[in-house]
Each structure stands twice: as structure tokens, then as C-alpha cells.
Amino acid sequence: MPTPKRPIRILATAEAVPFIEREISRRRFLSLAALAGGTALLAACTPGGSGSPSASPGASGGALEAELSMYTWGDYDAPDVLSGFSDELGPQVRLDSFSSNEEMIAKLVAARGTSGYDIVVPTGSFIPQMVENELLMPLNKDLLPNLANVDPQYLGREWDPENQYSICKAWGTTGFVYDNTVITRELTTWADFLDAAMNEASGRTTLLDDPAGVIGPFFWRDDQDWNTTDEAQLTACRDFLVDELAQHIVAFDSYPGGSAIPQGTHVLMQSWNGDARLGILESPDPDRWTWVLPGPATELWMDNWAIAAGAPHPEAAHAFIDWSMRPESMIANMDYIGYHVGGRDLEQVAADAGLEMTDLLFFTDEQLATMHEGELNESQGRRVEIWNEMKAAAGA
């Protein structure tokens, strides 16, 4: 893959907004609800609030505005797709980045429809409560003819059965990367990952900067229900993470592909598949790195295009989402961000285009069977406590 110029990631301070709703989850729960200032946002955004869904789309097919503002995950769109949109259709794109769903939602809640953002990219499980609290604008699907290019299996998800508010942007999973010149044994499971972290990779291991990523491996290791609300199981998880594992962790980094993998900063790094792919491809010595989709279980998540309520440029927002669903945009984005983007027949398109490391983009039925959706449930507060306590114990 050519090495494109990568935008700088902007990581703003996260505030807490836990949402109690079930379905696919990614990078969730980076919530700091227990900290000062989180209470008001929590009250405003939990189920049972006074909000109701917005009544109608804000775009009718009129002239495109001159600008478009997007609030999304760091480095999540191919530069050629962004520049091509502006060159072809006119609107200039401004990007801001967030590091968690909670951070994004907190900003939208605080702005009360005046955030200035047009497009946002929430993970699926957050969408129902965003709709309930009037944070999203309905889509005008008449303005999205390229929706026909999205594979139906990625549409009609439980969080938005009619795709009234959202459309799949990308989906992926969680695994790890290791330096095989340092860790010379083969690692294949989460048990291997945790063992190596406490032995030959001690002090040189990173975890995702996300409660789910931190807590997940404890349960995935033994193929247990990682959505458990059982306090005894959560306490056992806490004791292992805080008392045993934390002392071996050097950093919490959700994007090791940005620098840690290419620069060889650490030797064992938990990562999302797309970020791992980018990091390995950008490494001066890619053979040094081994990607593992660990067994016996791991995570599945999906991120989605959506338009913020009060979006000042709704016509341009619809036009950009439609532009991103063109086959050529899909393949460019998939290659750049390293994640499956939900398009039809993409595996053959990727092969024809000569994309590298497609085993990190497409998964077998057997692999998919090991990936489990996360839940937003009543154990959220406890999970955030464990995550905060582990980070404090690690001093990272």
C-alpha cells in the first residue's frame, strides 16, 4: 500500500456518557462518569429522558453548502476521498477527531444542537439513545442512491432497523500484534497474550485505551461471557487486571499503528485489526510483526455514518455520505483505514486492486464465529471503575 500523508489525530478530553442499550460495541465505555462533571450529562442522556426523535431530515436535495464539518474517529477517511469530494462537488471538509463514543456524545449534548458538526460516526449500540435524546437527524435516503452499493448484511441492524439514522461505515475486531524477533514462541490465544505480557514482554506491552479492550481479554481467554453482570466474575477480573497484569503494562494506546508499530516502540500491542494492518504496512520491517486474531473468543464492532441534529450543512453531509459509498471510495477507504467498509463484493474488488494483507480485512466463517458483540448494561459503572483502577496501578 502506498504510504499516504496521515492526518494528525486530535484527542480531546473525554467526559462520561454511559448509555444502557444492547448491541455491537467498539471503543465503548471510555466513560469518565464517575469524575466531576459527568452527572449532568448522565442525567441528560440515559434512557427515559425527555427527548424524542427529530421529525424530519434536514436535507431536501437543494444546492450544496460550501462547507462540511465532520466529527469522527482519528484518521478514519482516505485523504483522496476527502479531496476528491471537495474537488468534484465543492464543499470544503473540516475534520475533528474523538477517541471514544462518550467523548463525542458529551460534546453533542453540551452543544444542544449547536455543535457545528454535520457528520458524526457513532458505534451502533449508541445510536438508539442518541436518537432518543435528539442528537441525530434522520437521513433522506432519496439523496443516497449509492446506498445500493452497501451489502444488505450490514444494513437493518437492531439499533436502527430501517437505517433511518445510520449506515455502516466500517466494522472490525480486536486482536494483538507482537514483535517476533523478541517473542520467539508462537502466540495464538488471549491466554498466550496475557502470559507473554507478564513474562518476555513485561514492561513493553500496551493495551487499548478503552475499558472494553482492557477487560475483554480476561473473559475472552476462557471463552466466558464478557458481558457478564455477575459481581463475583467482575471482582475476579479486577483482581487479575489490577493486582497481576497492571505492573507489566507500559501504556494504554488505542492507535499503535500510528507510531508504536512502525517505530518498534513496544513488543506486544493489543489492537484493532485495521490499525494493526496500517502499522505493519508502514513498518520498515513488516516481517518483524505478527498479527493474531486470538482465540477462543474476541470482539465484533461496527461504526456508522450519521448526521448530527442541527447540522448546519445537511445537503453537503448527505452528499459526502453518498460519495463515500461509491465503489471507488469504498475501496480507497478500506485500503487506507484497514477495515471492511460494508460494500458489496469487496473481497474480489480488493483482490483485483492488489490490496495487501487482506487477511486483516476479510475473515472466514470460522473466525467470525469467535467474534462476539458487546453489551451496554448495568455493569458499566463497575467496568469503568476497574479500568480506572488498572490505569492507576499501571501508572501509564
CA proximity to 292, closest of 272, 315, 312, 266: 272
CB 271 within 8 A of CB 177: yes
**Eight-state DSSP code of residue 156:** S
Tell me how far apart the alpha carbons of residues 358 and 300 are, in angstroms, rounded to a whole number: 18
Classify strands 205-207 and 298-308 as parallel, antiparallel or unpaired: unpaired
Assigned architecture for domain 173-299+370-394: 3-Layer(aba) Sandwich (3.40)
As a whole number of angstroms, the distance between CA 123 and CA 100 comes to 9
Give average pLDDT by consecutive 10-residue segment, the chain, 396 residues. 32 31 33 30 42 60 96 94 98 92 90 94 89 95 98 91 97 97 98 99 96 94 96 98 98 94 98 95 97 96 96 98 97 92 91 90 94 83 93 94
Domain 38-171+300-365: CATH superfamily is: Periplasmic binding protein-like II (3.40.190.10)
167-179/136-137 β-pairing: unpaired
Q: Say which residue the cell 500496551 belongs to.
A: 206
Q: Would the CATH topology of 38-171+300-365 be identical to that of 173-299+370-394?
A: yes
Name the residue ranges covered by the structural domains of the chain: 38-171+300-365, 173-299+370-394
Nearest of 64, 185, 186, 173 to residue 118 by alpha carbon: 64
DSSP 22: B
Give the pLDDT of residue 349. 86
Question: By the 8 A CB rule, do 334 and 76 touch?
Answer: no
Angle at alpha carbon of residue 98, lines to 362 and 277, rounded to 5°: 25
Q: Give the SS3 label for residue 194.
A: helix
Other C-beta atoms within 10 Å of 102: how many?
27
Per-residue model confidence (pLDDT) at position 44 = 42
Per-residue confidence (pLDDT) for residue 50, from 0 to 100:
41
Give the single-character DSSP code of 341. -
Distance (Å, rounded) from C-alpha 12 to C-alpha 129? 22
